[in-house]
Amino acid sequence: MTRIAIIGAGLCGLTVAHKLKSQADITLFEKSAGFGGRLATRYADPFYYDHGAPYFKAETVDFQTFLQPLISAGILAQWKPRFATITFENDRLSTKIIGLDSVYIGLPHMNAIGRYLAEGFACERNTMITKINRNSNANCWNLIAQDGAVFENFNWVVIALPTEQSTALLPETIAFYQDIKYRKMNSCVTLMLGLNAFDDPGYDIGFIHDSEIEQVILNHHKPDRIMPASIVAHTSRHWLASQKHLSKDDYVKILLPSVQKIFGFDLEMIGHCAGHLWKYAGVKSQEKLEPLIDTHQHIAVGGDWCAGGTVEGAYLAGSQLARSLSSCF
Ligand SMILES: Cc1cc2nc3c(=O)[nH]c(=O)nc-3n(C[C@H](O)[C@H](O)[C@H](O)COP(=O)(O)OP(=O)(O)OC[C@H]3O[C@@H](n4cnc5c(N)ncnc54)[C@H](O)[C@@H]3O)c2cc1C
């Protein structure tokens, strides 16, 4: 059976694994302890935060069909959050509810999705791949991890990572190397705030105008979340671009007053507060790209950046990668 190494167990890599599992012998390589990549959850007991993608949409029938088993297994649910736009006029807060739109969330948290999809696959977790070498004589790939471990004899390598992390691994001789190198991703900071007392502001997700904070999510309002108030606030990607000199602690100091201005809580009520820098949060260009496959050297590259920088985009890129690969062996 064809042996495939998939580097990156986010939704794109996990989709490739699922679609090819009957045709190939697959091993997943993931640098983190958990699966799902940016479908992530941070625990700071008793507070829980889905601090990556807070929710997602499924607009294509293909993605909706893929999600059905997760819904049946109780890993995924639909949520109709109360969306609001928030503006400050002369420092006065104005909130406008903008209607209900159904989205998907993971149960009990977003990271359940990756955990569920990785079940049954051979996985090397806590394994950051730092180099891939092609053995042309044996027509196979060897992978080298940060700790020096070597994984040998793969017929194909699939790289399912953000663009900068992909080019760090790709040999420059690969034909599409330059296409990926100049496709940059943008960053954002996420503030996680646990409060021991908090009043319902009348919405679940707020989009903020003219603030360094772009979006706030009341994580504890999601269905089946039994926990004290756990607020997630994402900065705008434009704001972060102008703040590169700041440290992680600076981000928290600057962003906490901005979140307090939105909700007006008492600082004494803070039970937990932390920041997270997402170096590769989303895509700069919405331009779509076909997943990239070198049929001569047996290497394939894809990720959400091929299809709009969303969870559904990561799935569609993985699905298309798997379709193209399945005709190669
Ligand atoms: C703050 C934030 C908010 C977002 N909001 C939304 C939203 O509202 N709706 C939406 O649809 N999308 C949203 N997204 C985007 C969405 O999360 C991503 O588009 C999607 O999850 C990307 O999946 P992926 O598989 O392409 O990449 P990733 O999820 O990034 O997966 C890549 C995986 O590779 C691993 N990895 C990296 N380097 C190596 C290496 N060298 N060796 C081994 N493993 C490695 C990483 O740990 C990761 O698990 C958001 C993202 C962020 C960060």
Question: What is the Cα 149 distance to its own chain's centre?
Answer: 26
Determine if ligand 1 sits within 6 Å of the CB of residue 309.
yes
Question: CB of 237 closer than 6 A to ligand 1?
Answer: no
- Atom 20 (ligand 1): residue with closest C-alpha? 311
Q: How far is the CA of 223 from the centre of ligand 1 (A)?
A: 23
Ligand 1 mean position, distance from CA 164 (Å):
13
pLDDT value of position 329? 84
Please identify, by atom number, the ligand 1 atom nearest to the C-alpha of residue 145.
Answer: 42
pLDDT at 295: 92
Q: Mapping DSSP to helix (H, G, I), strand (E, B) and coil, where does residue 136 land?
A: coil
Answer whether 40 contacts ligand 1 (Cβ < 6 A): no
Structure confidence at residue 235 (pLDDT):
95
CB distance 278 to ligand 1 below 6 Å: yes
The total of other beta-carbon atoms located within 10 Å of residue 61's CB is: 8
Location of structure tokens 């040999």: 171
pLDDT of residue 285: 79
Q: Is the CB of 8 under 6 A from ligand 1?
A: yes
Distance 7 CA to ligand 1 centre (A): 13
Domains of the chain: 2-326 (3.50.50.60)
Answer yes or no: is the C-beta of 154 below 6 A from any ligand 1 atom. Answer: no
Ligand 1 probe mutation, 304, 305, 306, 316, most atoms within 8 A of CB: 304
Question: Which pLDDT score is estimated for 229?
Answer: 97
The pLDDT, as a whole number, for residue 160 is 98
In the prediction, which pLDDT does 302 show?
95
SS3 for 15-54, per residue?
HHHHHHCCCEEEEEECCCCCCECCCCCEEECCEEECCCCC
pLDDT at position 100: 75
pLDDT of residue 232: 98
Residue of 38, 102, 169 best suited for mutating to test ligand 1, as the one with most atoms within 8 Å of CB: 38
Low-confidence ranges of the chain (pLDDT < 70): none
Task: Determine what percent of the chain is predicted with pLDDT higher than 90.
Answer: 81
> Is the Cα dihedral 278, 302, 27, 20 positive or negative?
positive
Which residues, other chains included, contact 266 with Cβ-Cβ below 8 Å and sequence gap of 6+?
197
pLDDT of residue 173: 87
124 ligand 1 Cβ < 6 A: no
Q: Which two tokens stand for residue 293?
A: 């496959």
The Å distance, Cα 212 to ligand 1 centre, comes to 22
Amino acid (one-letter) located at 31: K
Does 117 contact ligand 1 (Cβ within 6 A)?
no
